Structures are given as structure tokens and as C-alpha cells.
């Protein structure tokens, strides 16, 4: 039902560019991988917008790593497993927490800047963490600072060629593996074939699948959908994290309100001004995100309100302005002074725990295809990601994926001359991308949100199976490709959510509201197949 390719093309008629490696995505994961690969060969770094645009840029909270004398990597390991609700890959978590501090220290030595207090790296605490271990930069602009640092280094690496406004449409592969990808140059209006010994997908998350999301417009899950079409295994598709606190102001986007706001003492209140988190979890505002998001959802449903409130008014004004300048100024531009006014908040789609199934060096089930960042599923985050582990993941696993790709290319035998593909599909004229996308977002918001049910998921699946017909058309526009990718992802997420008959982490079902021991396993899907898989490495 999901076709192998999205467009009509004849490889013999398309201009070709050859590199040692291709990296798709200019977030921290893609940039880290490109910088490592650029030490050994020629890298094509493709990004569908400007290089500075990525999910990384909008990350506020920070990077979680063991830096405090009171903290230990085993504590970070334990906190991550607890947040993951029994579904984390312990080996992936162990790698993250043990290698993380070394990677951060090396970045600092290379010139990366993090906020300091009394000469030492400043640390904050966020939900689910037992210790203060979150490094931050620019107050609440950690993602932007990290992104700028990595972009600067990439621009001055002569082995990295950056192709902006270049949309990766489909992987090119045969039974022997992946050879490259077909891409569309949005400015020139032409298709190009990028050939390489290894392809790394670091295309970010899927937030635009939902009407309410903290993610930017570019987060349409292109890499995951593309890999699935090529026959790669995908895993944990049903697990989508909803951030508890995004701005709920009429006329404004769901601007992210960092977890660090609660880490520094922010309090959640209902529409009556009452504190309520003590009814849901002993850690109150600092409980894991899935618990806080469901608590807020429950309160909103109980009150019939469209939002609740985050209160910082009891904190020092100067501290708020200095620690959270991005959030303070953004809210002030919208008429809110967060040092005085209660902030209207609502949960919104934030992070995708699922993705392309990979091992600890980013190797997918297809030879030559690697993935890292939010597009990849290492089993690291389990059913629910611990706050600020995502930026750390991009750095640690960005490096490891590069090592995996380098190792592969030393042994791989690439025979590009064997590629011979000519495809013809019907042209999809008169399809209104905007209307269908809005319909899809309404469907996912209602049926694939924080609370799910068998009835709702079945309704969603029926509608999505109808929408799959759109995948059979050549839509010839980037907006169309994004829509096709989102439909594919929604279909896979719904199938996974229906199959998982329990509640675990970010996946909550009204009809199966408890976790079950027999479901302490990962759902793996492949084109035209689906099965459950439990491997030794996840035990």
C-alpha cells in the first residue's frame, strides 16, 4: 500500500554528483556526523532549508551530562531507564551517559560556550532528573548556541559541501544496499542524484504531523518515511512525546516553554489557581514528561478549559530575565510579562522516540544506510525521553554513526554503473495539499494524541488507508512530498498504537490503561511486513 518511490524519474536522465558520504539534515546530529566524516572523505551535507534551520535551533533546556561532584553516571543511567518506562535499551543508555561527559568536555576545549557560575559550568535540574546535571548556553538558547558552533566548524571544513534548499526525496537502492539518494533542488527546480558509499539520515522529528507542536515547519519526518519506503526497519513508532508546557496564546504558535522553567521553581496551576501536580506524582512539576502532560490534559478535560497556567511570579525578576531571555522576550512581544503574569500553557507534540531502527553505531537494516538524532531509534529513550537527553544523543551518537559509516565504507564495494531505474506514476493534479494536511493534523490530534483508544485508532486507520491513495501519485512539489511522508508516518504510528495493547510511557490507551510485562518489547515494522521483535541487546 505504500509505494517504493514518490516520483517519476529515469536515472539515466538525471545529473549525478558523487561523494564519499551523504548526510541529510543540518541539526546537531547531522552536523556532528558530517564533521567526523569530513576528516576522512568528501561529504555532501543536504538540508531542505537553510543550514541554520533545524529542531536543534529551537532546543531551550540544555544538554544532560554528569558534571557535578554529587552526581554519578549511574544516577543518570537510572533516571533515563525510569523515564523510559521499561523499554530503554540499557546498552544504548550506558553508552550515552558514559561517553557524554567526554564529548561535552572536548566541545568546550574546542570553543563551545556553556553558561558558567562562579567559574564552573552552570547546571540546572529538569523533570525526571535526580541531580542538577543540565548544562545550558545563552540562558535558554542552548540549541541555537550549539547549532551555531557546529555550523561554524562545518563551513570551514573543506571536505564538507553544504547543499541548502535541497529536499531528499527517496533513497536509491537495490538488493545489495543503498547507493545514494534522489534530491530536488528547490531553487533551480531540478532533480539530482547524489551517489555515495554511505548515507546518513539525520532529518529530525515529526512534529508537523500534529496541529499543536513545539517543532518548526521543517519537522515532517522525511527521513523515516523515506527509509521505510526503501525497506528499512522502523521501530517504536507509537511513542510520541508531548511536551507539557507550550504557550497557549490565541494567534501565537505553540512556542516551547522549557522544562527548566519548572526545574528552577515554576509551578503549574489550574484555571482556579490551584496547585495540582501533587495529586499525580511525588515529584510534582518535575515528574517525567508523559506524567505531567497527562496530568495537564486530565485537568483541562475536567475543567473544560483549553489551557492551564505556569506561574513564575514568585521567582526573582532579574533571575528570570537573565536565565530565560529567549522565553522572556518572546512572551513580552506577545504582551506577557512572565515575571508577573501567569503563562497560559497546553501540551503539544514535541519529540519522536520512534524512527529508523539502528544499532549503537547507527547501522540500519539496509547496507549503506545509517541514521542518528530524532530520525533514528536506538531504543535509547524507551517509551518516554528523559529531558535534555536529546541534545546529548545528537553529539554522542552523531560521532558513533560516523564511525559506523567509516567502517562500512572501508569494506563496501560500490558498483554505481549497475543502477538502472525508470519509473512512471500518474501525475497528482488538483490535490490541495493544505486542506489534506489540515485534515490529517486534525485526525492525529484527536485520535493519536496524549490519550488513545481502540475505537479512535481504528477510525484513524480507516481514514488513513483512504489517504494512502495519495502516495500513488507523483505530486511534483516539496509540499506534496512532505504530505506523503506525513501520511505514511501517521499510518505506521496508528498501526503500532493499535498493536500495543497496554499503556506505557508516552503511549496511553483508555482501554488498556496499565503496562503489561508481555509488552516489554519493541514493535518493528518493515514495508509490507510487521512483527514484534525482542532481541538480547534490549534485555
Please check whether residue 373 is in contact with residue 219, taking contact to mean a CB–CB distance below 8 angstroms: no
CA 197, 198, 203, 204: dihedral to nearest 10 degrees? -170
Residue 468 burial (10 A CB sphere; 0-12, 13-18, 19+)? middle
The DSSP 8-state label assigned to residue 175 in this structure reads T
> How long a stretch of residues is the chain?
539
Task: Determine the Cα–Cα distance for residues 59 and 55; give it in Å rounded to an integer.
Answer: 7
Task: Determine the Cα–Cα distance for residues 71 and 84; give it in Å rounded to an integer.
Answer: 20
Please check whether residue 483 is in contact with residue 471, taking contact to mean a CB–CB distance below 8 angstroms: no
Task: Determine the Cα–Cα distance for residues 86 and 295; give it in Å rounded to an integer.
Answer: 21
The DSSP 8-state label assigned to residue 424 in this structure reads -
Task: Determine the Cα–Cα distance for residues 49 and 311; give it in Å rounded to an integer.
Answer: 36
Report the greatest alpha carbon distance in the chain.
69
455's enclosing H/E stretch is helix 454-467
Q: Would residue 521 show up in a list of annotated catalytic residues for this protein?
A: no
Which of these, 181, 179, 191, 56, lies nearest to 478 by C-alpha position?
191
Pairing mode, strands 426-427 and 376-377: unpaired
427's enclosing H/E stretch is strand 426-427
Task: Determine the Cα–Cα distance for residues 232 and 368; give it in Å rounded to an integer.
Answer: 11
Residue found under cell 505514511 = 488
Q: How far is CA 133 from CA 18, 70, 317, 380, 533, in A?
A: 43, 10, 24, 18, 34
Please check whether residue 33 is in contact with residue 501, taking contact to mean a CB–CB distance below 8 angstroms: no
CB neighbour list of residue 404: distance below 8 Å, 6 or more residues apart: 359, 361, 362, 363, 370
- Give bridge partners of residue 185 from the DSSP assignment: 166, 190
Of 262, 289, 504, 509, the active-site residue reads 289
Residue 2, sorted as left (phi over 0), alpha (psi -120 to 50) or beta, turns out to be beta
Which of these, 194, 127, 227, lies nearest to 419 by C-alpha position?
194
Which residues are marked as active site? Answer: 289
Amino acid at each position: 500500500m505504500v509505494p517504493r518511490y514518490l516520483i517519476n524519474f529515469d536515472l539515466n536522465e538525471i545529473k549525478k554528483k558523487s561523494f564519499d558520504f551523504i548526510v541529510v539534515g543540518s541539526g546537531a546530529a547531522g552536523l556532528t556526523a558530517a564533521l567526523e566524516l569530513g576528516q576522512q572523505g568528501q561529504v555532501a551535507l543536504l538540508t531542505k532549508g537553510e543550514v541554520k534551520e533545524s529542531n536543534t535551533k529551537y532546543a531551550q533546556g540544555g544538554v544532560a551530562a554528569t558534571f557535578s561532584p554529587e552526581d554519578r553516571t549511574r544516577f543518570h543511567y537510572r533516571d533515563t531507564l525510569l523515564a523510559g518506562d521499561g523499554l530503554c535499551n540499557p546498552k544504548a543508555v550506558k553508552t550515552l551517559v558514559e561517553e557524554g561527559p567526554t564529548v561535552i568536555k572536548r566541545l568546550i576545549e574546542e570553543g563551545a560556550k556553556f553558561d558558567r557560575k562562579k567559574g564552573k559550568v552552570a547546571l540546572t535540574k529538569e523533570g525526571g532528573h535526580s541531580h542538577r546535571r543540565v548544562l545550558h548556553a545563552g540562558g535558554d538558547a542552548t540549541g541555537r548556541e550549539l547549532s551555531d558552533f557546529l555550523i561554524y566548524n562545518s563551513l570551514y571544513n573543506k571536505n564538507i559541501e553544504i547543499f541548502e534548499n535541497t529536499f531528499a526525496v527517496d533513497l536509491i537502492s537495490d538488493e545489495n544496499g543503498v547507493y545514494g539518494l534522489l534530491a530536488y533542488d528547490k531553487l533551480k527546480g531540478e532533480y539530482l542524484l547524489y551517489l555515495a558509499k554511505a548515507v546518513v539520515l539525520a532529518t529530525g522529528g515529526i512534529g508537523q504531523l500534529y496541529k499543536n507542536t513545539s517543532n518548526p515547519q521543517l519537522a515532517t519526518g522525511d527521513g523515516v518515511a523515506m527509509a521505510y519506503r526503501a525497506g528499512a526497519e522502523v521501530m517504536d513508532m507509537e511513542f510520541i512525546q508531548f511536551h507539557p508546557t507550550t504557550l497557549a496564546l490565541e494567534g501565537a504558535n505553540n512556542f516551547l516553554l522549557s522544562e527548566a522553567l519548572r526545574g528552577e521553581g515554576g509551578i503549574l496551576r489550574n484555571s482556579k489557581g490551584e496547585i495540582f501536580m501533587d495529586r499525580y506524582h511525588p515529584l510534582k512539576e518535575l515528574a517525567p514528561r508523559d506524567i505531567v502532560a497527562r496530568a495537564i490534559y486530565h485537568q483541562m478535560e475536567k475543567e473544560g478549559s483549553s489551557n492551564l497556567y505556569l506561574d513564575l511570579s514568585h521567582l526573582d525578576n532579574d533571575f528570570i530575565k537573565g536565565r530565560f531571555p529567549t522565553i522572556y522576550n518572546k512572551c513580552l512581544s506577545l504582551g506577557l510579562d512572565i515575571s508577573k503574569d501567569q503563562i497560559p500553557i497546553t501540551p503539544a507534540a514535541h519529540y519522536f522516540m520512534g524512527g529508523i531502527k539502528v544499532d549503537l553505531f547507527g547501522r540500519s537494516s539496509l547496507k549503506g544506510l545509517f541514521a542518528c538524532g530524532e530520525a533514528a531509534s536506538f531504543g535509547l529513550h524507551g517509551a518516554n525521553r528523559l529531558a535534555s537527553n536529546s541534545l546529548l544523543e545528537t553529539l554522542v551518537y552523531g560521532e558513533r554513526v560516523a564511525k559506523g559509516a567509516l567502517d562500512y565504507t572501508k569494506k563496501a564495494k560500490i558498483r554505481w554503473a549497475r543502477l538502472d531505474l525508470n519509473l512512471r506514476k500518474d501525475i497528482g493534479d488538483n490535490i490541495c495539499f493544505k486542506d489534506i494536511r489540515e485534515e490529517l493534523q486534525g485526525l492525529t490530534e484527536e485520535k493519536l494524541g496524549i490519550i488513545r483508544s481502540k475505537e479512535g485508532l481504528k477510525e484513524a486507520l480507516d481514514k488513513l488507508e483512504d489517504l494512502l491513495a495519495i502516495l500513488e501519485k507523483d505530486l511534483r512539489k516539496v509540499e506534496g512530498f512532505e504530505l506523503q511522508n506525513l501520511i505514511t508516518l501517521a499510518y505506521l504510528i496508528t498501526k503500532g498504537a493499535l498493536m500495543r495493547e497496554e499503556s506505557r510511557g508516552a503511549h496511553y490507551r483508555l482501554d488498556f490503561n496499565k503496562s503489561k510485562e508481555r509488552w516489554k518489547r519493541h514493535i518493528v515494522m518493515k514495508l509490507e511486513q510487521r512483527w514484534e521483535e525482542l532481541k538480547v541487546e534490549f534485555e
